[in-house]
Amino acid sequence: MNKIVEKKQLSDDVYLMELEAPYIAESRRAGQFIILQLDNNFGERIPLTIADANESKGTITIIFQAVGKTTIHLSKLEVGDYIENLLGPLGTPTEIKKVGTVVCVGGGIGVAPMHPIAQAYKAAGNRVISIIGARNRDLLIMEEEIKKCSDEVIICTDDGSYGRKDLVTAPLKELCEKGIPNEVVAIGPPIMMKFVSETTRPYNVHTMVSLNTIMVDGTGMCGGCRVTVGGETKFVCVDGPEFDGHLVDFDNMMLRQKAYKTQEDQATHKCRIGLTGDHK
């Protein structure tokens, strides 16, 4: 049983929860995630990235968007309530090295899993430039947390209500043209990560993306999370969640995700893509 010790609503349907999970807090590393099951009667298992952890308190922080049955139910829980099952930390941690200047690109809810990665790159002695984007100012999350672990923060909104009126790929291209990034990390909707990867490709900048696919068990047995990377089948839950963005078959990945969606879900998915802009 994992007690909820803090809850915040960050935007209309995005929530932060701090959960008691001392063993996960102690052993987690940047880039890893958990599988959450509300209780044994509410059987769906969902993957959520660990957005932060506090070893001294024995807690982890998750940030999620209430868009499906389980996340909507999770959003209705309050401080003092319990989540019955947490499995983690799962996935291969981010390979953190001192490489020089790292540009971290986060779109919409993807800013949350980007946070611990930016923290780790900064702690390793890198210069960190963070680009965070949202559809509008109200949907922007974790700005202050990102500023604390970044040397520079560039904010983009689709409507220009805050920061630059631009897609996140625009300032990224400017930085690449100046030869600034030694490495790029991108987390957000698949379409955003695809175009970030295409932006960096001509400049031969190593680009890592963190994939969020359908998962059931988190151990590679169900096969629901399989993706094609460099022409080979990989499993996001055990081989990832991070892969070389220049090798990921994003079109195949997005096609597989649509296979699990109803028409209503697909409409919602298209709306969520708007968090970082529609790429034509």
The binding site for FAD comprises 63-65
Q: CA-to-CA distance for 24 and 20, rounded, in angstroms? A: 9
Cβ–Cβ contacts within 10 Å for residue 233, how many? 10
The strand pair at 164-165 and 85-90 is best described as: unpaired
Q: Which residues are annotated as a binding site for [2Fe-2S] cluster?
A: 222, 225, 237
* 200 touches 181 (CB < 8 A): yes
Q: CA-to-CA distance for 171 and 185, rounded, in angstroms? A: 14
Q: CA-to-CA distance for 154 and 55, rounded, in angstroms? A: 30
The strand pairing partners of 232, in sequence order, are: 229
* 61 touches 110 (CB < 8 A): no
Cβ–Cβ contacts within 10 Å for residue 270, how many? 12
172 half-sphere exposure, CB direction, 13 A CA radius: 33
Q: Which residues are annotated as a binding site?
A: 63-65, 222, 225, 237
